[in-house]
A and B are shown apart, each in its own frame.
Chain A
Amino acid sequence: MSPAPSQPRDRADLTPDAIDRTEFTTCYMCACRCGIRVHFKDDKLRYIDGNPDHPVNRGVLCAKGSAGIMNVLSPARLKKPLKRVGPRGSGQFEEIDWDEAMAIAESWLGDIRKTDPKRLAFFTGRDQSQSLTGWWAARFGTPNFAAHGGFCSVNMAAGGLYSIGSSFWEFGEPDWERTKLFLMFGVAEDHDSNPIKIGLGTLKSREDAKFVSINPVRTGYSAIADEWIGITPGTDGLFAGALIHELLRAEAIDWDYLARYTNAPWLVYQAPGRPEDGLFARDKDGHPLVLDGITKAPSDALSPDAKPVFAGSVEIDGLRAVPAFQIMAERFLDDAYAPDTVAETCGIPAATIRRLAAELSEMAFKHQIELDIDWTDWAGRKQTKVVGRPVSMHAMRGISAHSNGFHTCRILHLLQMILGTIDVPGGFRSKPPFPRPIPPGPKPAGHDVKQSTPLDGMPLGFPTGPEDLLVHPDGTPKRLDKAYSWDHPLAAHGLMQMVIHNAWKGDPYPIDTLFLYMANMGWNSSMNVPATLHYLTDTVADGGYKIPHIIVSDAYYSETVPYADLVLPDTTYLERWDCISLLDRPICSAEGPADAIRQPILKPDRDVRPFQDVLIDLGARLKLPGFVTASGDPAYPGLYADYIVHHERAPGVGPLAGWRGEDGDQSGRGDPNPDQLQRYIDHGGFWHHPFTEGQSWLKHGNRDYLTHAQSMGWIPAADRIVMQIYSEPLQKFRLAARGHGPVLPPPGHRARIDTYFDPVPFWYPPFEGSSADMGTGADYPLHAVTQRPMHMYHSWGSQNAWLRQITNHNKLYLHPDTAAAHDARDGDWVWIVSPIGRVKAQIKTMQGVERSTVWTWNAIGKRRGAWGLEAGAPESEKGFLLNHVISELLPATDGGYRHANADPVTGQAAWYDLKVRLEKCLPEEAGTTEPMFERFDAPNLAPSHAVAGTLRFGADSTGTASGRPPTPHREFVRKDGGA
Chain B
Amino acid sequence: MTSLPHQTDKKLGLVIDLDICVGCHACAVNCKEWNTGGHSAPLTDNDAYGPDPSGVWFNRVHTFEVVSEDGCGRMVHFPKSCLHCEDAPCVTVCPTGASYKRVEDGIVLVDADQCIGCKLCSWACPYGAREYDEDAGVMKKCTLCIDRIYNDTLPEDMRVPACVSTCPAGARSFGDLGDPDSAVSKLSDRRGGYALMPEQGTKPVNRYLPPRKPHRTDAPNALSPVAADGAGTVARWLDKILSL
Contact = CB atoms under 8 A, between A and B. Distances in A.
Interface in A795-848: 799, 801-806, 808, 846-848
Nearest to A325: B237
Interface in A179-236: 180-181, 189, 193-194, 197-198, 200-202, 204-205, 207-210, 218-224, 226-227
Given A223-B76, A307-B241, A951 B33 contact: no
A357 interface: yes
Contacts of B149: 14, 969-970
B35 to A, nearest CB: 8
Interface string A491-504: 00000000000000
A957 interface: yes
Contacts of A799: 49
A922 B95 CA distance: 52
B178 to A, nearest CB: 12
A311 B227 CA distance: 15
Contacts of A41: 37
Given A218-B75, A249-B230, 4 more contacts: A248-B233, A250-B224, A358-B219, A944-B48
Given A4-B97, A7-B102, A200 B20 contact: yes
Interface of B: 1-5, 10, 12, 15, 17, 19-26, 28-30, 32-39, 41-51, 53-55, 57, 65, 67, 71-77, 91, 94-97, 100-105, 109, 111, 135, 143, 146-154, 156-160, 162, 164-171, 173-176, 182-184, 186-187, 190, 211-212, 214-215, 217-227, 229-230, 233-244
Contacts of A189: 22
What class of interface size applies to chain A in its complex with B?
35 or more
B26 to A, nearest CB: 5
Nearest to A52: B157
A971 B151 contact: no
B45 A950 contact: yes
A354 B223 contact: yes
A951 B44 contact: yes
B24 A791 contact: yes
B222 A246 contact: yes
Contacts of A47: 33-34, 37
A200 to B, nearest CB: 6
A60 B22 contact: no
A825 to B, nearest CB: 16
A362 B170 contact: no
Interface of chain B, main secondary structure: loop
B135 A66 contact: no
B233 A333 contact: yes
Nearest to A204: B20
B49 A801 contact: yes
Contact of A944 (B49, B173, B212, B219): B49
A790 B26 CA distance: 9
A849 B95 CA distance: 49
A970 B156 contact: yes
Nearest to B167: A60
A603 interface: no
A252 B233 CA distance: 12
29 contacts: A5-B97, A6-B97, A8-B111, A11-B111, A19-B154, A60-B168, A66-B29, A198-B168, A210-B214, A220-B22, A220-B24, A224-B21, A247-B223, A256-B243, A309-B240, A329-B237, A358-B222, A358-B223, A362-B219, A869-B50, A949-B47, A953-B42, A957-B41, A958-B37, A966-B150, A970-B156, A971-B174, A971-B175, A977-B184
Contacts of A630: none
A256 B241 CA distance: 10
A52 B155 CA distance: 11
A224 B22 contact: yes
B138 to A, nearest CB: 13
Contact of A311 (B104, B159, B237): B237
Contacts of A135: none
A359 B30 CA distance: 39
A66 B30 contact: yes
Interface stretch (A429-437, A536-544, A724-732, A870-878): A870-878
A9 B29 contact: no
A101 interface: no
Of A219, A223, A790, A870, most B-chain CB atoms within 10 Å: A223
Contacts of B42: 951-955
A979 interface: yes
A962 B160 CA distance: 18
Interface in A746-804: 790-791, 799, 801-804
B162 to A, nearest CB: 7
Contacts of A359: 217, 219
Given A7-B100, A12-B147, A873 B50 contact: yes
A451 B53 CA distance: 54
B20 A224 contact: yes
Contact of B37 (A181, A207, A954): A954
A728 to B, nearest CB: 19
A972 B173 contact: yes
A508 interface: no
